[in-house]
């Protein structure tokens, strides 16, 4: 069973690459971020045509998350309960007994920005949300764009990025508090190539120059992580014309979702 995540940076612009990736990889669930469209404008028919269901929390121009799945999800939930936030960043549903959350964490802009303070507040609320989710759903997967590079090895130039947004001590501590709940970074369960990144800026020819960061992650609860057999970053779509600045990340788990009745 393959669970994947991809910040597509506009689903309408990136529709064909996403459809191609689905056809090639057949994920049980694909978590999308940065839809940049409202639900009414989401290209649902294109996914229905290839056998996928969709749960969508859209937003005009910015944000927006979705769950594309081979079978319908149940108990959908949008947003972080009790956290008043107009930005569509979290959507969750259950597939069989597996709870999957697609998340688009705030960027923060810069460490001197109000958006950075919002990011840290948001992560506090998100941590509490995941703690409650873990108490209800032992088999939990949280996949998305976290906008945090957890360690120096996740950054092409740790010295240049030290203390900057995406790599600041406070952000890394916030990410660490998610792991302390009992979640595992599935990518780090396996031997990985050095300089493995999931995001490259559009500027300065960053992708071809290897100037990337690993900020897209698939976290899994202990019992779900024990079933993980592989995790990888697929850089192929990043080399296409008009790509998202992010590459899809996928994790393989033993077992499969039961067919829909």
In order along the chain (261 residues), what is the average pLDDT of each group of 10 residues?
98 98 98 98 98 97 97 98 97 97 98 98 98 98 98 98 98 98 98 98 97 99 98 98 98 82 49
Per DSSP bridges, beta strands 216-221 and 53-57 are unpaired
Which residues have a catalytic role annotated? 104, 145
Architecture of domain 2-253: 4-Layer Sandwich (3.60)
Number of neighbours of residue 10 by Cβ within 10 angstroms: 15
Compute CA distances 183 → 39, 131, 192, whole Å. Answer: 30, 10, 19
pLDDT score, position 259? 65
**Annotated domain spans of the chain:** 2-253
Query: What is the value of pTM for the model shown?
Result: 0.97
The residue with tokens 């839809």 is 35
Predicted pLDDT of residue 260 = 58
Q: How far apart are CA 256 and CA 178, in angstroms?
A: 26
CB of 133 closer than 8 Å to CB of 139: no
């Amino acid at each position: 069973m393959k669970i994947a995540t991809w910040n597509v940076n506009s689903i309408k612009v990136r529709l064909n690459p996403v459809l191609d990736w689905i056809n090639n990889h057949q994920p049980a669930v694909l978590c999308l971020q940065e839809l940049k469209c409202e639900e009414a404008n989401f290209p649902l028919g294109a996914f229905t045509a290839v056998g996928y269901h969709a749960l969508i929390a859209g937003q005009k121009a910015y944000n927006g998350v979705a769950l594309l799945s081979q079978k319908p999800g149940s108990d959908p939930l949008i947003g972080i309960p009790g956290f008043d936030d107009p930005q569509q960043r979290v959507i969750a549903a259950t597939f069989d007994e597996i709870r999957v959350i697609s998340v688009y964490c705030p960027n923060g802009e810069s460490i001197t920005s109000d958006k950075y303070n919002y990011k840290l507040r948001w992560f506090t609320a998100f941590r509490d949300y995941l703690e409650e989710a873990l108490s209800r759903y032992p088999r939990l997967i949280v996949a998305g764009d976290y906008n945090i590079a957890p360690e120096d090895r996740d950054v092409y130039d740790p010295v240049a990025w030290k203390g900057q947004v995406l790599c600041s001590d406070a952000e890394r501590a916030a990410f660490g508090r998610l792991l302390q709940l009992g979640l595992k970074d599935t990518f780090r369960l396996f031997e990985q190539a050095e300089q493995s990144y999931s995001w490259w800026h559009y500027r300065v020819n960053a992708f071809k120059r290897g100037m990337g960061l690993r900020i897209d992650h698939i976290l899994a609860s202990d019992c779900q992580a024990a079933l993980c057999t592989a995790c990888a970053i697929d850089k192929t779509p990043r080399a296409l014309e008009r790509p998202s600045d992010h590459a899809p990340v996928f994790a393989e788990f033993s077992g499969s979702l039961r067919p829909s009745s």
